[in-house]
Amino acid sequence: MTEFSNLTTDLTELILSYLPIPTLIRASTVCKLWYAIVSSLSFSSTTTKAHHHRNPWFFLYGLHNTSSKNNQSFAFDPVSNLWFRLPVLPTRHHQPTSSCFLGADGFFLTTAPNFAYSRILKRAWRVTPPLRFSRINPLLGVSDDGSRRVPRFIVVGGVRFIGNLVDIEDRLAVEIYNPDSDSWDLFPPLPADFRSGNSSQSLSSALFRGRFYVFGIYSCFLSSFDLAQHVWSEVQTLRPPGVVFSFLIACQDRLVLAGICNAPVGPSFNLWRIDEKTMEFSEIAIMPQDLLYSLFDSDEDDKFASLKCVGLGNLIYVFNEEYHKKYPACVCEIGDESGECSWRRVPQLPSPVNKFHQVISFCSTVSLHNILRGEEEDDEDVGPMQAMED
């Protein structure tokens, strides 16, 4: 029998590529060769890229409005089925508040009073020139083609204050950060159909194949912004029968609509695949009833209003943002070729879990190279991740 130490480097790299990230972190301490393989940029960007892009992590950042000491940050790895407690971001210069703090693929961001960003596993905040129109509760996308150290940030909608009053009539221009010139470019605002609700509290968004889609969670209005032509598409209504509210999600090769339906047998949580050309929908999955009701502990009529949904890659996460059950969640995995969906419960966050005024949730791929070595020499790592098990 061939000993592991006698395997070629290429074969060793192939075997290690099938391990989940927490196991790879431990494997990197076995010997110098394994550390060199696991921490290399090529291993992270090529060998494990496809595997981990299909299995993005689920991030929850809890904000407490009166005491930042009660903020908490968690990340769930679907491959190892483990939650990790992350050190909260330093707040000496950037105190996150619920209305201007966001999470998007790979980044934490603030939009007011200044625009700043921090990679999810870093402590350093980077400040850009201010937005032309400072705003709260906007939609935000991260467009990263891998050619730049800093991606393009896309800021859509939101509201701004005039004095101490919110200006709900102002249709704020789309702003896109240009990292080459370190400036913000202005483009046409959301179509007027979205005037009655143009913040992230009533809209969801999806960045898919060069378009930034905006969808009304309750109105079901849909429009997309072409990132090359800088124009909005005609507003359409995308409402499957019985839908109460829903979220638009960009998965690996498809657009998915996910939401609560009033069905003849009772409320259900459904997934529909959306044809990006015709905007026609076809049902692909229904969450098992016992799993849906496990997210609640009451029979109140409005209990479903606290459901939120995020997704990326092949995974869609559904969770209850109410505190009383420690933010219970489940996940649906969409098969690559068959399109078949499998549901499972996400492990509960172990205690202690603080009570938050708002929970920021998003999905992101995680780079092993960033965890072990850091992407920029002048960045300080966020610190050790603490695995959390019951």
Least confident of 49-53, 56-60, 191-195, 243-247: 49-53
pLDDT, mean of residues 332-346? 87
Q: What percent of the chain has pLDDT over 70?
A: 81
Count of the separate structural domains present in the chain: 2
pLDDT higher than threshold 60 for residue 166: no
Structural tokens at position 164 = 């101490």
Residues 134, 186 share a domain: yes
Residue that is written with structure tokens 């590529």 in the block: 17
Residues 101, 26 share a domain: no
Residues 59, 41 share a domain: no
pLDDT higher than threshold 60 for residue 268: yes
pLDDT, mean of residues 83-105? 72
3-state secondary structure 322-362: CHHHCCCEEEEEECCCCCCEEEEECCCCCCCCCCCCEEEEE
pLDDT at 214: 97
Higher pLDDT, 321 or 297: 321
Q: Which helix (H) or strand (E) segment is 63 a member of?
A: strand 57-63
pLDDT at 382: 46
- Cβ contact 220:237 at 8 Å: yes
pLDDT higher than threshold 70 for residue 378: no
- Cβ contact 287:268 at 8 Å: yes
Residues 204, 91 share a domain: yes
Residues 248, 316 share a domain: yes
pLDDT at 92: 45
Residues 106, 154 share a domain: yes
Indicate the pLDDT class of residue 234, thresholds 50, 70 and 90: very high
Residues 97, 229 share a domain: yes
Host domain of residue 127: 54-372
Among 18-27, 182-191, 336-345, the range of highest mean pLDDT: 182-191
Question: What does the alpha-carbon distance between residue 379 and residue 179 come to, in Å, rounded to a whole number?
Answer: 18
- Dihedral of alpha carbons 239, 244, 248, 249, sign: negative
DSSP code at position 382: -
Indicate the pLDDT class of residue 226, thresholds 50, 70 and 90: very high
Indicate the pLDDT class of residue 93, thresholds 50, 70 and 90: very low
In a domain, 4, yes or no: no
- The CATH number of whichever domain residue 278 belongs to comes to 2.120.10.80
Question: What does the alpha-carbon distance between residue 84 and residue 236 come to, in Å, rounded to a whole number?
Answer: 40
In a domain, 377, yes or no: no
In a domain, 277, yes or no: yes
